Structure formats: structure tokens, C-alpha cells
Amino acid sequence: MKKIVIDARESGTTTGRYVDKLVEYLHALKPTYSFVILAKRHRMELLTNLAPDFEIIACDHKEFTFDEQLGFYWQLRDLKPDVVHFPIVQQPVLYRGTVVTTMNDLTSVRYRNPNKQWLVFTIKRWVYTWLNKRVARKSAALLTYSQFVKDDVARFASIDPAKITVTPLAADAITDKPEPLPQLENKRFIMYVGRPMPHKNLERLIKAFGLLRAQHPDLVLALAGKKDANYQRIEALVREQAIKGVAFTDFVSEGQLRWLYEHCAAYVFPSLSEGFGLPGLEAMLHGAPVVSSNASCLPEVYGDAAHYFDPLSVQAMADAINEVITDKDLRGQLIAKGRQQVQRYSWRRTAQQTLAIYDTVLGTESK
């Protein structure tokens, strides 16, 4: 029986939702391959529950380290897999076995993290750029979440687009009971959830919100996400510009996130670069109208279920948000279209497409 190894070290992170769902739905398909899932110890029990027929093995080789390049390399060699599926670009560059790689996007190649020391980050980004090209060329097959990223990777690495398959993500309904945030109860608010990295474009969102406050003095902008150095930088910007009505929620639970989606006047996604844009789909699933940047893959993923703006224009962003929160008909149309748009995506279909790639790479059929 052919052996497929899946690198699940990212399980439990934002990126790791993809690998968790992939493992769960691959298991449900009951493939005839032997699957080995490599995970960090604190995630092994959860993955065992998701996929009891798969072998779950501890793999504590940390990403972006020499141990990943050496220790992880030898662990893979010892397992003697027929295929290794890496859900991220980070992988041992010396490994010569058959590899399938999921490339999320090229955002990290193009945008820097201002919280990191400039020289160190510049060197790391140079290495990461080289790694992306190396992995794209050496992998037997590549997966991306969107057609936009597929085309982007093909150009960036100078490879045949036929080598790349688009396997979209899907949104899941939050089942936890809605839990109100006291600071936002009985208030009219728009929201964003996620990390405050530069490509997320929160600086322009805050400036756009400043313009909106002139027309809607009671409106609140809720920024949901664990406070880190980058969020502290955003808080400092809000103070410097004396913009009132910005609420930093810090980390929110699943129940709190559901409440935010269900009660916001609009979910705003101002990003300059995305591989898929899953939060917007999640917002749609829970009945929020989505106002989105028209950059990268977002129009592809959201279709006509979002109201778009130029993310480089603060005024255009403010105007688009204003239109959605003041026009009841437009808001209702977006909510209805959003619920329909979400139904286009399925984790089961993602798993089926991925399994078909394994079949192609191995020259076999799993069933």
C-alpha cells in the first residue's frame, strides 16, 4: 500500500485550519492509501480524533530552523513515504522524495513585517523568496487556494501553470453560542478580524473610519485579534490621529466572533494581498454584509456577494462602507448573496481534489 505523509505541524494555527480540515475530510473519503500525519505533540490527540484510521506521529521540528532542515529531513527519510504533502512552503530543501506542496500566496515575499529588525528580516525574506522558487520547481504538484495565486506562482517561479491545481477553502459555521462583547453591546459597529500585518491595510481602514465618523458619530470600528507589537503600532496610530470610536477587542473566543459577525453593520476586508480571504466568507456565512478590497484574489472568491473598493484609496473605502451601512436594500442584497456564495465552497470537494492529485502523482487510484 502506498504511503502518504502529511506535514501537520501547523495544526492549530490560522494556516493550520486548512491542514486540519484536509486531514478530517480525507479520512472521511476512506482512501486506500496509508496515511501518516506528522504533528506537534499538543495536537496529536485532536488529530487522532479527527482521523482515527490514520497514523499520527510526533514531529516537533520547528518551522524556519536548522532542525527543520536536518532533523525533519531525517524523520522523513526514515518514514520512506511515497509522497509527502507539505501544506506550507517551509520544508527540508534537501529532501529528494516526491513532494506535493500547497502554496498559500506570495504575500510574505512582497511585504515586510515592521516589527522585525530590518536587516534580519531582509535576509530572511531573501532566503524565503529563494525557497518559494525552489519548492515550486521541485514539487511534483502544487496546490493553491485561488486562480489568482496559481497564476501569480506560475509567473513568479517560471513554471507551467498546468502543474498547479486550485483547491479552494471553505467556511464553517461557528457552533459555539453567541457571546456578546460588553464594549460593543448596543452599539452600531463595523468590524475586521485578523492580524494587523502591513498587507492587511489597517492604516487606511482607520483613516477611512475617521472620515465615516464625520457622518456617523456613533459608529464604532471593532478590530478583533490578539494584541501584539503590530497591534500596538496600530493603537499608537489611532492615538496620534485622535480618531475616536476604535475598539481593540484583543483575542476573541469562537462565541464572541460569532456574535461580532451576527451583529456588525458590515464586515470590512481592506487587504492588499490574500491567498483566499476566508474571514470574508465566514462573515457571509453568519449574515454579515461584506465590504471588500478589490485586490488580488478577493473578487474571485467573493464574486458579486461583496461591495468592492480600491484599497489604495481611503476615500473610496469610506464611500463603499457608507453605502453598505446606509442603503438597506444594498445591505440586504449582500447578505442574501453572501449566504449563496458560501455554498459554492466545500471542504469535502477540497479533499477530493487533493486526493485526485495524489492519484496523479502516484499513477494510481485511491479507490
Instruction: Determine the pLDDT at residue 234.
Output: 92
Residue at 85 is within a domain:
yes
Instruction: Determine the pLDDT at residue 273.
Output: 96
72: β partners: none
Pull the grid cell for residue 130. 529563494
Q: Which range marks the domain in which residue 249 is found? A: 189-342
Model confidence at 121, pLDDT cuts 50, 70, 90, reads low
Residues 107 and 78 occupy one common structural domain: yes
- Where does the chain show beta strands of DSSP type E? 3-7, 34-39, 55-58, 83-86, 99-102, 141-144, 164-166, 189-193, 220-224, 246-250, 266-269, 290-293, 306-309
Residue with cell 457622518: 215
Residues 356 and 322 occupy one common structural domain: no
Model confidence at 51, pLDDT cuts 50, 70, 90, reads very high
The residues, ordered by sequence, that sit 6+ positions from 66 with a Cβ below 8 Å of its Cβ are none
Q: What is the pLDDT of residues 264-310, one digit of tens each?
A: 999 999 999 999 999 999 999 999 999 999 999 999 999 999 999 99
Residue at 176 is within a domain:
no
Instruction: Determine the pLDDT at residue 120.
Output: 67
Model confidence at 110, pLDDT cuts 50, 70, 90, reads confident
**Percentage of the chain modeled with pLDDT above 70:** 96
Instruction: Tell me the CB-side half-sphere exposure of residue 174, using CA atoms within 13 A.
Output: 23
Residue at 175 is within a domain:
no
Residue at 358 is within a domain:
yes
Instruction: Determine the pLDDT at residue 76.
Output: 98
- Where does 141-188 show beta strands of DSSP type E? 141-144, 164-166
Pull the grid cell for residue 314. 481611503
Pull the grid cell for residue 262. 451576527
pTM of the predicted model as reported, rounded to 2 decimal places: 0.93
Pull the grid cell for residue 275. 491567498
226 burial via Cβ count (<10 Å: 0-12, 13-18, 19+): exposed
pLDDT surpassing 60 at residue 367: no
Residue at 283 is within a domain:
yes
Residue at 183 is within a domain:
no
Residues 300 and 193 occupy one common structural domain: yes
Residues 40 and 103 occupy one common structural domain: yes
pLDDT surpassing 90 at residue 353: yes
Residues 119 and 52 occupy one common structural domain: yes
Distance from C-alpha of 137 to C-alpha of 134, rounded to nearest angstrom: 5
Model confidence at 114, pLDDT cuts 50, 70, 90, reads low
Residues 350 and 336 occupy one common structural domain: no
The DSSP letter of residue 184 is T
Distance from C-alpha of 168 to C-alpha of 309, rounded to nearest angstrom: 23
Polymer length in residues for the chain: 367
Nearest residue to 243 (alpha-carbon basis) of 227, 223, 224, 229: 223
The C-alpha R_g of the chain, in whole angstroms, comes to 21
pLDDT surpassing 70 at residue 50: yes
Pull the grid cell for residue 92. 527540508
Residues 68 and 145 occupy one common structural domain: yes
Residue at 292 is within a domain:
yes
Ramachandran angles phi, psi of 306, nearest 5°: -130, 160
Residues 10 and 158 occupy one common structural domain: yes
Q: Are 289 and 307 in contact (CB under 8 A)?
A: yes
Residues 104 and 122 occupy one common structural domain: yes
pLDDT surpassing 80 at residue 117: no
pLDDT surpassing 90 at residue 115: no
Instruction: Determine the pLDDT at residue 366.
Output: 60
Residue at 184 is within a domain:
no
Model confidence at 104, pLDDT cuts 50, 70, 90, reads very high
Instruction: Determine the pLDDT at residue 214.
Output: 93
For residue 314, what is the domain's CATH number?
3.40.50.2000
268: β partners: 291
* 123 CB neighbour count, 10 Å cutoff: 11
The residues, ordered by sequence, that sit 6+ positions from 67 with a Cβ below 8 Å of its Cβ are 61
Q: What is the pLDDT of residues 68-101, one digit of tens each?
A: 999 999 999 999 999 999 999 999 999 999 999 9
Ramachandran angles phi, psi of 267, nearest 5°: -100, 125
pLDDT surpassing 80 at residue 113: no
Residues 325 and 194 occupy one common structural domain: yes
Residues 195 and 163 occupy one common structural domain: no
Distance from C-alpha of 235 to C-alpha of 202, rounded to nearest angstrom: 11
How many domains are contained in the chain? Answer: 2
Residues 16 and 64 occupy one common structural domain: yes
pLDDT surpassing 90 at residue 14: no
